[in-house]
Each structure stands twice: as C-alpha cells, then as structure tokens.
Amino acid sequence: MRTKTILRGIKRHTNGWLIMSLIVAVGILLPILYVMSSLFRPANDNWIRVKQYLLTDYVIGSAKLVILTGFFATLIGFALAWLVVGYSFPLRRFFRWALILPLAVPPYIAAYTYSTMTSYTGIIQATLRNHFDITVPPGTIEVMSTRGAIFILTLFLFPYVFLITRTFLEKQSASYIENAVLLGRKRFSLFIKVVLPISRPAIIAGLMLVVFEVLSDYGVANYFGVQTVSVAIFQTWFGMYDIDSAMRLAAWLMIVVIGIFVLERFLRRNRQFHSTTSQNKPSKPQQLRGAAAVAATSLCMFIFILAFLLPIAQLVIWTTWTYRRVWGAEYVDLIRNSLSVATISTLVIVLLALLTARAGRMLTSTLSYTISRLMTSGYAIPGAIVAIGVMAVFINLDHRLSHFYGWIGKGEGALVISMSLMMLVTGYVIRFMATGYNAIEAGYEKISRSYSEASRTLGHGHVGTFFRVELPLLRGAVFTGFVLTFVEIIKELPLTLLLRPFNFSTLATRTYQYAIDERIYDAALPSILLICIGLVSVLFIHRLGKGDIT
C-alpha cells in the first residue's frame, strides 16, 4: 500500500516541466563542476611553477582589488543614497537617477578613456601645461596601477550599492525614521543607530554585486597591468596554452566565490528583516540650506562628473575626430554579430527561464528553491570560469564525437562544436541565466496561484494553462527579462573574448582590441554605441524602480 502511495506521488510530480528543468539545471552546472573536478586531477609541471612563483601575487592582486573597491564603492554608494533620500538640496531629484548612469559605462571602456585623458598628451596634463603653465611631474596622476584600477572600478560600480540601498531606504525606512525622530534622535545618531543597521541587508546585497563584478573583471585589470586571478586565467590559457592550469586557477577562484557566498549568508544571518510595516511612502527629507546645501550638491555633482559626464564628453569628442575614418562596412557586421548572438542567447535564456520558473511553481518549496539557486548561480561566477568550463566540456564532446565526424566526412579529431557559435551562446546562457530568470520569477510571484488553479479546475492541463493564462499575464516580466539580459550580453567582454569563434568580433571585443592596440581614438565610436545600449538598460531599471513596468 505504502509503495503504491509513493508511486502515486512520484507519478503526479514527474512531468515534462520538471524533467526539462532538471536537464537545464544540470546543463548549467556541468561546466562549473567540470572546472571544479580539475582540482582532483594530477597537476602538470607548469601548474607547479605557477603555484610556486605566481599564485600568491595573483591572489594578493585580486584580494586588494576586491577589498578596496568593495570598501570605497560601499562608502560612496551608501553615503550618496542616504544623502538623496534623507536630505533635500538643489538638483536632488536629478541626482536620484543620474547617479545610476555610470552603470551604463563598461569599466574597461572607462579604464582606457581615463588612462588616455590623464596621460602626458591627454586633455588634463595638456590643458594644465598649455593654459596654466603647470607641468605635472611624471607619475603624479598615474592610473595605470592597482590604485587606478580601484579608482575606475569604484567609480563605475558604486551605483550598484547606490541603487539597491536607495531603493531600500525609500521603500522601507520612512516610518522607522519618523519614529526615531519622534523619539528624539538627532540626524547623525539617527544615521548610526537606525539607518545603518536596518540597511545592512541592502548594503551587503549591493556590495556582493560589486565584489562579483570585480572578481569577474578582466578588462580593467589587464589594461592596467594588475595581476589578478581572472587575468592569470587568460594568460595561462592564451599565453601558455595550458588549459589545465587555467582550469585549476578557475577552480580556486570558484572556491573563493563559494567562500564569499557563505560569508554573505553569515553576515546576513538573522538579519533578513521582515518589515512589519507595509507603509511605502518615502520619508520627508530634511531641507539643507546654505553651505550644507552647496556641499551636498557639489559632492553629487563631483561624483557624477567623474563617473559619467567627463568620460562621456571625452568619448564624444574622440568620436567626432575619427568616426568618418572608422565607420565602415565592418561596423554593420560588428553590430549584426553583436545583435544576433545576443538575440539568440537571450531567447534561449527567456525560454529556459520560463520553463524552469513554471516548473518551480509546481514543486515543493525546498526543491524549487534548490533549482532556482542552481539556475542563477552563474551570475556570481566570473566569466572566465564559465568560459573555461564551457570550452573544456565542448572540446571533450568533440573528442567523443570524433568517430561520428570521421563517419560524416569531417575527418577524425575535428573540432566542430567547439569552433562554433554554439559555445559562445552556451557561455552567455550560463552566465546570464540569473538576469532573465529573476525577472520572470518575480513576474510569476505577482500572479496569484488561484488563476492557474482556476484554469485547471476548468479543464485545462499544465500546457494549456501556461499558454492561455500565465503567459499573457507574464508579458511585462518577459519583456523586462529580455531587455536586461540582452544588454548584459552585448556588454560582456571576457566571456566573449574566450569563447568567440575564430574571426568573430562583436562591438565589445572590437572596442577592447582597439584599446589594447593603443588605437584609443578609434575605440571611441564602438564605445559610445555600447554605452548607448547600456543606457537603455539603466533607464529601464530606473523605470522598474518607479513601478512603471510590471
């Protein structure tokens, strides 16, 4: 009897949705597990050398970058968020959204822009020299260093902290702050005793995004010559053609990422405040006057100029110098490559996300939580790790298919799928599944379950219910997921560099190639194009926050 009942349960829960989403989850996890498994294989001589002479430097380089960028980005992001939420000063409403604009600028573009602007012939030194007769001693403004990398990454990643904490403070804090004021708290002690502690989960969430971005960064660190683990993965792969050692490095980096995840859980333990108030109105900001108001506006303006206006203005100027020469038929190809590969990948992501989010809704909470965690783990995993894993799995597949290739006349040992666009698309799907999945899952959460249940009692099965009820109600969420994922893919650099087929360039890789070749002015045009695409996503996120899009 008991077995029969268990069988009944299994039969009821085992359906196409579950099986498909398990396959997707395994597919996403496979390359990452493959990378981890390299730790258990015997090491080659090269790895022993890397470990002995270089590993410490890589780890110190990454740690310095992560810790200092994390610290400064949190400091700037949270301070500015509290400033625009808690106080009223000239241009406050403008800065409320303008300070998220730097997110549209890929840090590697900012890196070469700043390094050129601050060089001997760059606008800053040249102006000082020609108009003010000041000659800056060499090395005074030097961004080509760890310091410079921290400066760039901080300026262009702090908006993550700003955006998350600002939204949190606006939505959650009003009644707490008003109460604290009523209880006689002064502004500063209010900040220390109330605002800071209640914001901790939001601050940590923002900080984590910054940390994962920094760990994933290749463009900035490599351009500035900072030795980090991500850079080292590229060098051992492209410099030494040693994929085993590259995989080992990736595996160690993966362990660090898992460690950070655990640390995040630990930092947030018992701190997931469930607010007991549903009041959503923002608190009334305190009016700043005189010097204080000028100081607040100046601070925001200073950061906005550094992190957005200045590099954009410079890029626009460079573009006007070069666009006639640079623009050509090649650009049509570049744009087409970027758009087509991003469209295909985004479509795959949206389809898989719909499938698994639907399956998750039908399952017990623990199982669906596990699946959704697996699906979204890619966002925390640096692009280089995903790339190595995907590459290794595809090469392995090619070896296994070798006989088949021989049989269809391609020649044994041919690399077919690992030379195709499929590899790049797979990499994108794994890395950016989280963006699409989270948007669609959030959409699903807003649809009352009783709609689906009503549809089933009216005689429609899971598939019918999905197409006739859920999909029409999910339109907005699917659109949001599509746009956000699409833009992320267009901007992605390291993954594209590693996984693109031979002779396949996108806007991002071409921009970076120009920069590496010191053709900085030529890089301005594709950079501006990329930033414009990025702006679409940033403005979309901003509208999302206002609740215009559901």
Partner 1 sequence: MNYVTVQDLTFRYTRHHDPIIDGLSFTMKQGEVVGILGPSGSGKSTLLRLVAGLEIPEKGSISIDGRVIVDNSFCMDAEKRGVGMVFQDYALFPHLNTTDNILFGLHRLSRAERQRRLQEMLELVQLTEYAKRYPYELSGGQQQRVALARALAPRPSILLMDEPFSNLDASLKESIRDELRELLHKAEMTCLFVSHDQADIDAICDRSLQMDNRMMAMSGL
Residue from 48, 262, 454, 532 touching partner 1 (CB under 8 A): that is 454
Residues in contact with partner 1, shown as a per-residue x/- string from 402 to 441 under the rule CB under 8 A:
----------------------------------------
Task: Say what the alpha-carbon torsion angle 210, 544, 474, 208 is, to the nearest 10 degrees.
Answer: 10
Residue from 377, 418, 455, 480 touching partner 1 (CB under 8 A): that is 455
Give 464 or 501: the residue with its C-beta nearer to partner 1: 464
In whole angstroms, give the CA distance from residue 140 to residue 118. 10
Rounded least distance, CB 447 to partner 1, Å? 9
Tell me: does residue 126 bind partner 1 (CB under 8 A): no
**Phi then psi for 67, rounded to 5 degrees?**
-65, -50
Tell me: does residue 446 bind partner 1 (CB under 8 A): no
Rounded least distance, CB 353 to partner 1, Å? 21
Site for partner 1 in 10-49 (CB under 8 A): 11-12
Tell me: does residue 453 bind partner 1 (CB under 8 A): yes
Residue from 186, 325, 468, 519 touching partner 1 (CB under 8 A): that is 468
DSSP letters for 173-198: SHHHHHHHHHTT--HHHHIIIIIHHH
The answer to whether the beta carbons of residues 235 and 228 sit under 8 Å apart is no
Segment lying near partner 1 (by CB under 8 A), choices 168-176, 240-248, 402-410, 459-467:
459-467
Segment lying near partner 1 (by CB under 8 A), choices 41-49, 237-245, 248-256, 454-462:
454-462
- Residue that the structure tokens 């380089």 belong to: 61
In whole angstroms, give the CA distance from residue 521 to residue 124. 16
Whether the CA torsion 31, 37, 42, 47 is positive or negative: it is positive
**Phi then psi for 87, rounded to 5 degrees?**
-130, 155
Helices 329-362, 507-516: axis angle to 10 degrees equals 130
Tell me: does residue 503 bind partner 1 (CB under 8 A): no
Segment lying near partner 1 (by CB under 8 A), choices 49-57, 331-339, 422-430, 458-466:
458-466
Residue 467, number of CB atoms within 10 A of its CB: 11
Helix (H, G, I), strand (E, B) or coil at 88: strand
Please give the span between the terminal C-alpha atoms of the chain, in angstroms, as a whole number.
48
Give 397 or 473: the residue with its C-beta nearer to partner 1: 473
Residue from 140, 278, 450, 503 touching partner 1 (CB under 8 A): that is 450
- 177 half-sphere exposure, CB direction, 13 A CA radius: 26
Residue from 55, 401, 421, 473 touching partner 1 (CB under 8 A): that is 473
DSSP letters for 157-172: HHHHHHHHHHHHHHHH
Residues in contact with partner 1, shown as a per-residue x/- string from 292 to 321 under the rule CB under 8 A:
------------------------------
Bridge-based pairing state of the strands 87-88 and 286-287 = parallel
Tell me: does residue 340 bind partner 1 (CB under 8 A): no
Give 219 or 360: the residue with its C-beta nearer to partner 1: 360
Residue from 448, 467, 518, 543 touching partner 1 (CB under 8 A): that is 448
Tell me: does residue 459 bind partner 1 (CB under 8 A): yes
Where along the sequence are the contacts to partner 1 (CB under 8 A)? 1, 4-5, 7-9, 11-12, 448, 450-451, 453-461, 464, 468-469, 472-473
